[in-house]
Chains A and B, each alone.
Chain A
């Protein structure tokens, strides 16, 4: 039943706070299958908070609003249930798990998702075949498979590893939280190429970024500008270029309008 016109994500008037401070002040956003949305905005505008709320980080309290994901009430789901239902967050700061083999970790994750879908768990041999193929998508050396999760990885390697996880877990909705930060231009291109290979008519991607440069490689269908906890402006990919030229300040005047 999944098709291009289906609403994969529907956010209605979402308000969320951290320790009593309201960060999100009424977000409205609809993402359909097959689309790539970019959310841009200055530091502190609430971009990462939105990503965290969608993934179910418990530091945030949702005070108002609704979120539907693939027809389900997202806010009632546990973080792991969201993940198993195909919601993926590429972390801005991927976490190190010392001593835990990257591929072992991914196998556990993939099998948790497969079990949720009613599929059989992959055995070690099939899994190995799968990851050896997927690791090529992000041009990552196979040695990363047997290293502890993110431990001793450079900033760029960590980001690449996130996209590798995305490739293996094949999510329906991926949220890339500042995946471009800390990447040099070559790494940025590789990571973006990887993401592009994973785009399909069935899935959707929300790219959260401060800079426009990632969007040269991952070309969005819609660009949103976030300010003070609201999406104040939405437009096509050219909006990103305009933001790059003019900065975020002019958005004040334009706020409320849709280009």
Chain B
């Protein structure tokens, strides 16, 4: 086992690849949160009055709320007055094209493997890049516009399409929904906005790449995706942050709206800085994601690969309102070292003949703690609703934990919910079997873990699936033994 232990140490010493800091002038507000800060953020973004009022209302509500602590995660108290709520790279706020983007920023995204110059990007993916609090670039906008698709930063959408934003903002996640959603509603800075008009099938993947750069800042982005009747869209989200020894808060809100026969596929590969081997630093990823299948036959599918963050706490959910609507949740959550995750989904069946599928794969290594928490609710009128849930946990080593908290509430007699759960350990015998065929211990673990996650990976768009597999390998390196 000595040789294995050495490999573990080598890999554990490997650094987070995205941990660099970009040296760039930033325009920040002082740390702390009060109504003046919110007014300042709103003014900086030249927002209409209704939005400022909405923010202030959210903030006042947030002040009456208490931070929830029912989740199975532990962290020291967050000092909300120590956080910087707005930080933007200094640049001309209204860019006409990519050539106006600060070269330092372009370099940052190149380093991350996300080139923002359109001609260099893989054809077929449009990108919105969010750096700290603002969107710095959106590619392929013109091309999408020809189809009537709006894909822009949230701030731009507020300026250009206030009626759409106003109509849908908070329509899925109300500003008083929960503590972190209320905080986000008060201080959110940027994010992406997508609108797919009726009958249009978006010809390329839409993608937002989030990057936290400045120290002590929180990232509070807001994403809103609306697919009108018969529209279809696939959206990808990627995230990284520099290595810092202090925790940083990321409290985002994502709202999806699918009207009749519309389909939204939302994929996340979350690789925020997870903290170091001793659990110092890392991102608190406290996110509210919810989709509303408002129309008949609509479909919302969440796929997430969560490998980063010190703490991941989120439940991408679907409200199945339209009859025959479909909700899906495919998740891989990995915790290593001292990472913690409490994640899962809520499938709320309201319409008739609604269907949901939940496939959750939790992988725990090191001292990591991984919880699946899910709610499947079938309301009285949701006759003939169906759910299938599968929650599998894989343990590497004997210091980590896997927990499952499934809640099933069925309020009619014609609905059916199935729940399957397994917990397994990567066995020494499995690793030995692979070694006996010539594979190294790391390759063996990668192979076994990827096999375990297969059902989720195959839901990801091709290039992201490859990325996710590699990421998983890096996240778990050094966890054998």
Interface stretch, picked from A98-106, A136-144, A219-227, is A98-106
A172 at the interface (CB under 8 A from B): no
Let me know if B443 and A108 touch, CB within 8 A: yes
B437 at the interface (CB under 8 A from A): yes
- Given A95-B429, A95-B430, A95-B433, verify A80-B451 contact (CB < 8 Å): no
| List of B residues within 8 angstroms of A94 by Cβ | 433
| List of B residues within 8 angstroms of A185 by Cβ | none
Q: DSSP class of B's interface residues: helix, strand, loop or mixed?
A: helix
A186-B354 Cα distance, complex, nearest whole Å: 50
Let me know if B451 and A98 touch, CB within 8 A: yes
| Least CB distance, B395 to chain A, in whole angstroms | 14
A89 at the interface (CB under 8 A from B): yes
A79-B433 Cα distance, complex, nearest whole Å: 10
| List of A residues within 8 angstroms of B451 by Cβ | 97-100, 148
Let me know if B437 and A165 touch, CB within 8 A: yes
Let me know if B450 and A99 touch, CB within 8 A: yes
| List of A residues within 8 angstroms of B436 by Cβ | 55-56, 79-80, 82-83, 88-89, 91
Contacting B438 at CB < 8 Å: which of A95, A98, A112?
Answer: A112
A165-B438 Cα distance, complex, nearest whole Å: 12
| List of A residues within 8 angstroms of B429 by Cβ | 95
Contacting A109 at CB < 8 Å: which of B3, B438, B450?
Answer: B438
- Given A83-B437, A105-B437, A169-B437, verify A99-B432 contact (CB < 8 Å): no
Q: Chain B residue with minimal CB distance to A85? A: B438
Q: Chain A residue with minimal CB distance to B448? A: A97
A132 at the interface (CB under 8 A from B): no
Let me know if A108 and B439 touch, CB within 8 A: yes
A57-B432 Cα distance, complex, nearest whole Å: 7
A160 at the interface (CB under 8 A from B): no
Let me know if B438 and A84 touch, CB within 8 A: yes
A105-B454 Cα distance, complex, nearest whole Å: 14
- Given A56-B435, A83-B435, A165-B437, verify A99-B3 contact (CB < 8 Å): no
- Given A57-B432, A58-B1, verify A97-B447 contact (CB < 8 Å): yes
Q: Interface code A98-122, partner B: CB below 8 Å = 1, 0 otherwise? A: 1110000110111011001000000
| List of B residues within 8 angstroms of A56 by Cβ | 435-436
| List of B residues within 8 angstroms of A97 by Cβ | 430, 433-434, 447-448, 451
B452 at the interface (CB under 8 A from A): yes
Let me know if A95 and B427 touch, CB within 8 A: yes
Q: A83-B438, A112-B438 are in contact. List 20 more A-B contacts (CB 8 A).
A: A55-B436, A56-B435, A57-B432, A80-B435, A80-B438, A80-B439, A82-B436, A83-B437, A95-B432, A95-B433, A96-B430, A97-B433, A97-B434, A99-B454, A100-B451, A108-B439, A109-B439, A112-B437, A116-B438, A169-B437
On B, residues with C-beta under 8 Å from A are 1, 3, 427-430, 432-441, 443, 447-448, 450-455
On A, residues with C-beta under 8 Å from B are 55-58, 78-80, 82-84, 88-89, 91, 94-100, 105-106, 108-110, 112-113, 116, 148, 165, 169
